Amino acid sequence: MAQNVRVRYAPSPTGVPHVGNIRTALFNWLFARHHGGAFILRIEDTDVARTVPGAVEAIMGGLEWLGLDWDEGPKVGGYYGPYFQSQRLGIYGQEAQRLVAEGWAYRCFCSPERLAEMRKEQMSRHQPPGYDRRCRSLSEREVFPGVAPVVRFKTPLEGETRFLDLIRGEVVVENRTLDDFILLKSDGYPTYHLASVVDDHLMAISHVMRADEWLASTPRHMLLYQALGYPPPHFAHLPMILGPDRSKLSKRHGATSIMEFREQGYLPQAMVNFLALLGWSLDDKTEIMSRQELIRHFSLERIGKTGAIFSHEKLGWMNGVYLRQLSLEDLLAQVLPYLERDLSPPVPRPLDRGYVAQALALVQERMRILREAAELTDFFFLADVEYPAALLYQGLAKGALEGSDAAARAMTALEAVVPRLKHLNSWDAASLEGLLRPLAYELRLTTGQLFGLLRVAVTGRTAAPPLFQTMAVLGRERCLRRLTAALGKLASLQASP
């Protein structure tokens, strides 16, 4: 692999880029960076009907978000452009023409209707579907005026085609199992087969790394390289990414668009790390790897052969790992947009950065994705917290105490706490703890009972960050107001049992 490594990621702009495609891009990028080669982005927009506006931007946006920079392609240009196949139609037409002239291909005038019917019949007779080669023997002058022909490849009727796949090893296919596939469509656009072979050659691609679904077409491509007189590149077919049902991952498996992951708050570095491990591994234990480490260690030899199910579960864990590694400033910068977006509307914007930072410090290790930030911290921002009154005293109801007794005990506790909090000299976590811990003993409550009660009163929930730090961040005023509100809840409970 001493030669110049040039690899490409060649998506078709038919929709939003999904993680399967992106993983292919990542492997190509890692391979290029590892070998100091070039990573090329080429847009395969040869299907006019399926091309969707904005898809190219989405693809580039996805790559940029993940930090997969390309050396040649849209935006950056390059010596081998243009990088949109729709702008290279002349080249494909020329090469197709050449193949016809040299006897490697022929024009076919069969109508789509005839082809469809033929296919249907073949299927019903349990025959392998494929073009019956009716136009293969037409002479140069036998043309059908008014019918725009397609150009088909004259696949050899005998012999076999073999090639070495860097991941699978040698693959052999009998030529007679291949039909005369289309090179140029009647609208003048090339099919994938023609366009990718021509461009991979013209763009001096050294290694074609693409998804496994292309393995079966590669013999056709080999035949084309021969006919066109091009030396073929190396091939490496990547294992596919599967949905939970083990079929090719697609939209019906839920969130698969790379941008959806971004919106949910996955970090690009976590995404890169996770995707790299889908089909590739370094050894038997290393999982968390930086971009640089991935580049340093990436190699074709360590790519697996079997499809991998995309596990949201593990991705979530890994994202949490990366989230915890962030400095507070970085975390703040990452989370702010999500909070602005997800916090309930009554919370005044813009958020106070200093205050948000204090709250974030308390939830950093509890977050898996940024999307959860609002839910984890909303009580820091809301004017009042809402919760069922029963939460206040449920921790006190254990043992022989009846519910109403527990509520009464909760009231007693709160009544003892409020005035002391009011007069606490210094409002910080240590002082709060110094006051409240002995108080629990005094009230004949366990710390768990007292702190649990206060946690509910102050945050409205039973699971939250450590109490004293939380109260310190919330501030005296907010805490007292909530404690008083809790007292009110309990009182009205007593009034109407």
* 307 alpha carbon, distance to own chain's centre: 17
Does residue 251 have an active-site annotation?
A: yes
- Shortest Cβ distance from residue 147 to RNA (Å)? 8
Alpha-carbon span 39 to 73, nearest angstrom: 9
Distances (CA, A) of 5 to 207, 216, 303, 366, 421: 7, 24, 18, 43, 69
Segments in 178-231 forming alpha helices (H): 192-202, 218-228
Alpha-carbon span 227 to 451, nearest angstrom: 79
In this structure, are residues 275 and 261 in contact, taking their beta carbons and an 8 Å threshold?
no
Note whether 158 binds RNA by CB under 7 A: no
Positions 379 through 418 that interact with RNA (CB under 7 A): none
Coil vs helix vs strand at 446: coil
Note whether 278 binds RNA by CB under 7 A: yes
Sole window of 54-62, 226-234, 275-283, 329-337 interacting with RNA (rule: CB under 7 A): 275-283
Coil vs helix vs strand at 260: helix
Note whether 447 binds RNA by CB under 7 A: yes
Residue 329 carries which DSSP code? H
**Looking at beta carbons only, is 296 or 340 nearer to RNA?**
296
Coil vs helix vs strand at 83: coil
Q: How many residues bind RNA (CB under 7 A)?
A: 89
Sole window of 58-66, 177-185, 380-388, 485-493 interacting with RNA (rule: CB under 7 A): 177-185
Alpha-carbon span 204 to 234, nearest angstrom: 11
**Looking at beta carbons only, is 37 or 279 nearer to RNA?**
279
**Residue from 14, 94, 97, 492 binding RNA (CB under 7 A):** 14
- Type of residue numbered 382: L
Q: What share of the chain is helix, strand, coil (3-state, %, to 5)?
A: 50, 10, 35
- Shortest Cβ distance from residue 416 to RNA (Å)? 17
Positions 117 through 156 that interact with RNA (CB under 7 A): 119, 126-131, 148, 150
Token output for 276: 């790299």
- Shortest Cβ distance from residue 38 to RNA (Å)? 20
In this structure, are residues 247 and 277 in contact, taking their beta carbons and an 8 Å threshold?
no
**Looking at beta carbons only, is 11 or 268 nearer to RNA?**
11
**Residue from 9, 12, 60, 478 binding RNA (CB under 7 A):** 12
Note whether 423 binds RNA by CB under 7 A: no
**Looking at beta carbons only, is 44 or 378 nearer to RNA?**
44
Positions 221 through 260 that interact with RNA (CB under 7 A): 239-240, 242, 245-248
What residues contact residue 114 under an 8 Å CB cut-off, 6+ apart?
A: none
Report the half-sphere exposure of 38 (CA within 13 A, side-chain side): 18
Note whether 106 binds RNA by CB under 7 A: no
- Shortest Cβ distance from residue 186 to RNA (Å)? 3
Q: Which of the following is catalytic: 75, 120, 248, 251?
A: 251
Site string for RNA, 53-92 (x = CB under 7 A): ----------------------------------------
For the chain, the straight-line distance linking the first and the last C-alpha, in angstroms and rounded, comes to 81
Note whether 212 binds RNA by CB under 7 A: yes
Note whether 281 binds RNA by CB under 7 A: yes
Positions 36 through 55 that interact with RNA (CB under 7 A): 44, 46-47, 50
Note whether 192 binds RNA by CB under 7 A: yes
**Residue from 189, 225, 338, 380 binding RNA (CB under 7 A):** 189
Q: What are phi and psi of 246, to 5 degrees?
A: 70, 10
Positions 448 through 477 that interact with RNA (CB under 7 A): 448, 451-452, 455, 462-469
Note whether 217 binds RNA by CB under 7 A: yes
Alpha-carbon span 434 to 439, nearest angstrom: 9
Catalytic residue numbers?
Answer: 251
